[in-house]
Amino acid sequence: MAQNSARTAGRHFLQIPGPSPLPDRILRAMDTPIIDHRGPEFSKLAKRCLDGIKTIFKTTNPVIIYTATGTGAWEGALVNTLNAGDRVLMVDTGQFATLWKKMAEKLGLKPEFIETDWRTGADPKLIEARLREDKNKEIKAVCVLHNETSTGALSPIAEIRKAIDAAGHPALFMVDTISSLASVDYRHDEWGVDVSIGGAQKGLMLPPGMAFNAVSDKALAANKNSKLPKSFFAWDEMLTMNKIGFFPYTPATQMLHGLIVGIEMLHEEGLDNVFSRHERFAEATRRAVRAWGLEIMCKDPKYYSPTITAVMLPEGQDADKFRGVALDTFNIAYGASFGRYTGKYFRIGHLGDINDGTLVGALAITEMALGLSGIPHKKGGVQAAMDYIVSAHSGGARAAAE
């Protein structure tokens, strides 16, 4: 909010890595009378959603739609496939990986954490090495985040699949794709993922309140033998009811109206265009950060995230204070920092329904806020971002990135 004023003019810059800005078209689609969730009109709507969402996960298998946030779909993945005391292999890529691990502990699982310094992604080689040591096949699932939203690191899911296969290990493969789905290429079937976990409020451009489990045949088989307690999140009743276009309980009907339109919009733009748009935003942002003389949280370019860039501030600077100044003065929201890095970085989300102009506006605000906060930096970040965007549109994108 602008200082000393009851009104803030113009649009809020929502540059957090989800929820992402809600497109007017989705908002309008949700602004419609409530229908009977046991009636014929609803069944048509639900079937369109259940089919449509498969095209986003790139699967021909069922996708469960929960009335929950992403956290609920994490729980759904674990409780539907595993048993008390099962070992699960996870990678400590950041805050979200830590939260998923804590959930696994609360549910009676035995998570094992491959440590990182939070400035990289999940290394397939380390996963393979750990699985090779597990001679008795005690590890029942490998759980990784495709995109670690708290730090801005993207992990190579196809490579991790190959690593699991190379180790000859039968563990289930579960992937959190909440802040990458519909922004970054993702292939549930081709990459042999057993449970893919998605959320509505990031790449799918919906409000928070809907989440997904895409499931493989192997996950469905594991479901038959899984005895962890489950009720609301149980797959079996859901799948039975979904076949006829219904849910075991009242689903978020307005969210389903929005979901149809969100999927439509993604296909109208073309998924590959959506993915290259996000890559362009990310590269432009990184060039701005480097030109400012600041450090990108993710140290290894192999793991750079297309949807969020975390920016380290120089030693002694307070990133939370910086975010406060930027919000008060320029009406922009950035993502916060976590754990041992609390106060040391801020995150620029660049995902969902935004364009080059939105991004350049956000970067310009960032450069102004750095100046206003007295944070040592060089000028010219916005110029570097604009130069890159122009080169990307003139077909020089590949050459420039190399």
Ligand X SMILES: *Cc1c(COP(=O)(O)O)cnc(C)c1O
Is residue 235 within 8 A of residue 80, CB to CB? The reply is yes
Q: Which C-beta is closer to ligand X: that of 70 or that of 156? A: 70
Map the footprint of ligand X across residues 303-322, applying CB under 6 A.
none
Between 95 and 134, how does the x/- string for binding to ligand X read (CB under 6 A)?
A: -x--------------------------------------
CA distance 143 to 77: 10
Q: How far is the CB of 239 from ligand X (least distance, A)?
A: 23
Residue from the set 199, 203, 258, 381 that interacts with ligand X by CB under 6 A: 199
Map the footprint of ligand X across residues 140-179, applying CB under 6 A.
145, 147, 149, 176, 178-179
Q: Which C-beta is closer to ligand X: that of 151 or that of 242? A: 151
Q: How far is the CB of 68 from ligand X (least distance, A)?
A: 8
User: Is the Cα torsion angle 48, 50, 55, 60 positive or negative in sign?
Assistant: negative
Q: What's the residue count for the chain?
A: 402
CA distance 355 to 352: 9
SS3 41: helix
Question: Where does 114-173 have alpha helices with state H?
Answer: 124-133, 157-166
Applying CB under 6 A, does 338 fall inside the site for ligand X? no
Map the footprint of ligand X across residues 53-92, applying CB under 6 A.
69-71
Q: How far is the CB of 122 from ligand X (least distance, A)?
A: 12
Q: Which long-range contacts (CB under 8 A, 24 or more apart) does 337-343 make?
A: 337/150, 337/310, 338/94, 338/95, 338/150, 339/94, 339/95, 339/98, 339/118, 340/118, 341/118, 341/297, 343/318, 343/319
Map the footprint of ligand X across residues 1-20, applying CB under 6 A.
18
Q: What is the CA radius of gyration of the chain?
A: 21
Applying CB under 6 A, does 210 fall inside the site for ligand X? no
Other CB atoms within a 10 A radius of the CB of residue 8 amount to: 11
Residue number with the smallest Cβ distance to ligand X: 70
Q: Which C-beta is closer to ligand X: that of 71 or that of 331? A: 71
Q: How far is the CB of 184 from ligand X (least distance, A)?
A: 12
Applying CB under 6 A, does 212 fall inside the site for ligand X? no
CA distance 70 to 176: 9
Applying CB under 6 A, does 186 fall inside the site for ligand X? no
Q: How far is the CB of 277 from ligand X (least distance, A)?
A: 19
Selection from 212, 216, 214 nearest residue 203 by Cα? 212
Number of residues that bind ligand X (CB under 6 A): 13
Map the footprint of ligand X across residues 216-255, applying CB under 6 A.
none
Distance of CA 20 to the CA centre of its chain: 11
Applying CB under 6 A, does 292 fall inside the site for ligand X? no
Residue from the set 207, 208, 245, 343 that interacts with ligand X by CB under 6 A: 208
Q: How far is the CB of 225 from ligand X (least distance, A)?
A: 27
Q: Which C-beta is closer to ligand X: that of 178 or that of 238? A: 178
Angle (CA) 351 276 63, round 5°:
65
Q: Which C-beta is closer to ligand X: that of 45 or that of 178? A: 178
Selection from 300, 307, 146, 389 nearest residue 401 by Cα? 389
Is residue 278 within 8 A of residue 306, CB to CB? The reply is yes
Applying CB under 6 A, does 93 fall inside the site for ligand X? no
Q: Which C-beta is closer to ligand X: that of 142 or that of 392? A: 142
Helix (H) or strand (E) holding 370: helix 356-372
Q: Which C-beta is closer to ligand X: that of 179 or that of 223? A: 179
* Interface ranges with ligand X (CB under 6 A): 18, 69-71, 96, 145, 147, 149, 176, 178-179, 199, 208
